[in-house]
Chains A and B, each alone.
Chain A
Amino acid sequence: MVPPLLSRPRETELVVVGASAGAVDALGELLPALPADARVPFVVVVHVPPSKPSLLVDLFSSKCALAVRQPFDKQPIEPGVWIAAPDYHLLVERDRTFAVSIDEPVNYSRPSIDVLFESAAVVYGRALAAVVLTGASRDGAAGARKVRAEGGLVLVQDPSEAEVDVMPRAAIEESTPELVAPLAQLAQALRDISRGRP
Chain B
Amino acid sequence: MSRLRLYLPADAAAIAVGADRVAAALRAAGAARGIAIDLVRTGTRGMVWLEPLLEAESAEGRIGFGPMRPADAEGVLAAILDGGTHAKALGPVVQIPFLREQTRLVFARCGITNPLSPEDYAAHGGWKGLARAKSLGAAATVEEIVASGLRGRGGAGFPTGIKWRTAAAAVGSPKYIVCNADEGDSGTFADRMVMEGDPFLLIEGMTIAGFAVGASQGYIYIRSEYPHAVAAMREAIRIAAREGALDGFALEVRVGAGAYVCGEETSLLDSLEGKRGMVRAKPPLPAIQGLWGKPTVINNVISLASVPWIMAEGAGAYRGFGLGRSRGTMPVQLAGNVRHGGLYECAFGVTLGELVQRVGGGTASGRPVRAVQVGGPLGAYFPPALFDTPFDYEAFAARDGLIGHGGVVVFDDTVDMARQARFAMEFCGLESCGKCTPCRIGSVRGVEVIDRLLAGVRPEAQRELLADLCHTMKYGSLCALGGFTPYPVMSALTHFPEDFVPRAGARMAAE
**A joins B in a complex:** no
